[in-house]
């Protein structure tokens, strides 16, 4: 039996509303912050961040902010967080660089490790690597994130025009 049309069942345009499509979580926050200057040695927290502002840099929402390297959230939810570092050995030695994502649920009194990674650089090599985590941001006043570089005998690339070392936040849904 061949059909050339599919019946719509008589659904009026006004019958589908945002309330009736609950369970669909559009992205309400997405932003990239980049390190603006090179970093030598350890830093806890990393502080030289700016929102990526290139001609085609995109972002959604305005609720993720940072002050002195401590990131705060304007909306609770489940967030994907990624820390990408471009690191290099400025000499002929073998060096190591560690990147860490740390989170606090008590306003920054103490931080737990949410993600950690390292790279070893040999003889003027350069590596880019990423670490990531999923964080449950349950409070807009108490949930904090910071990024740490330690064990750093090399250099971490920064730039105010290119995303060499950067962090990405994407809100995935409700907490």
45 falls within a domain: yes
Burial status of residue 122 (CB atoms within 10 A of its CB: 0-12, 13-18, 19 or more):
exposed
Answer whether residue 100 is part of any domain.
yes
Please report whether residue 69 resides in a domain.
yes
Would 34 be classed as within a structural domain? yes
Residue 12 lies in a domain: no
Q: What is the DSSP string of 92-158?
A: SSEEEEEEEEEEESSTTSS-EEEEEEEEEEESS-EEEEEEEEEEEE--TTT-EEEEEEES-SSEE--
Cβ-based neighbours of 142, under 8 Å, separated by 6 or more: 104, 105, 106, 107
Length of the chain: 175
Q: Give the residues across from 49 on adjacent strands.
A: 35
Residue ranges making up the domain that contains 140: 25-173
| Domain membership flag for residue 3 | no
Q: What is the pLDDT of residue 30?
A: 96
pLDDT (tens, 9 = 90+) of the chain, 175 residues, equals 555 665 556 666 666 555 555 566 688 999 999 999 999 889 999 999 999 998 898 899 988 999 999 999 999 999 999 999 998 887 767 788 899 999 999 988 899 999 999 888 877 788 899 999 999 999 999 999 999 999 877 789 999 999 999 999 999 999 8
- CA–CA gap between residue 163 and residue 175 (Å, rounded): 29
Count how many domains the chain has: 1
Whole-angstrom distance, CA of residue 102 vs CA of residue 92: 31
In a domain, 91, yes or no: yes
In a domain, 32, yes or no: yes
Task: Output the pTM of the full model.
Answer: 0.83
With beta carbons less than 8 A apart as the criterion, state whether 46 and 35 touch: yes
Query: Is there a contact between 103 and 143 (Cβ–Cβ < 8 Å)?
Result: yes
Q: Which CATH number do you get for residue 145?
A: 2.60.120.40
């Amino acid at each position: 039996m061949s059909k050339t049309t599919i019946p719509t069942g008589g659904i009026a345009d006004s019958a589908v509303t945002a309330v009736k499509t609950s369970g669909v979580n559009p992205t309400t926050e997405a932003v990239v912050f980049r390190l603006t200057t090179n970093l030598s040695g350890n830093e806890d927290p990393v502080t030289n961040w700016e929102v990526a502002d290139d001609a085609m840099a995109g972002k959604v929402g305005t609720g993720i902010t940072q002050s002195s390297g401590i990131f705060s959230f304007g909306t609770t939810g489940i967030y994907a967080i990624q820390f990408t570092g471009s690191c290099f050995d400025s000499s002929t030695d073998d060096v190591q660089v560690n990147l860490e994502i740390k989170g606090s649920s008590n306003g920054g009194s103490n931080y737990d490790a949410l993600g950690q990674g390292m790279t070893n650089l040999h003889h003027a090599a350069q590596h880019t690597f990423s670490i990531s985590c999923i964080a449950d941001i349950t409070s807009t006043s108490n949930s904090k994130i910071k990024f740490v570089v330690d064990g750093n005998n090399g250099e971490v690339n920064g730039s105010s025009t290119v995303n060499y070392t950067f962090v990405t936040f994407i809100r995935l849904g409700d907490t």
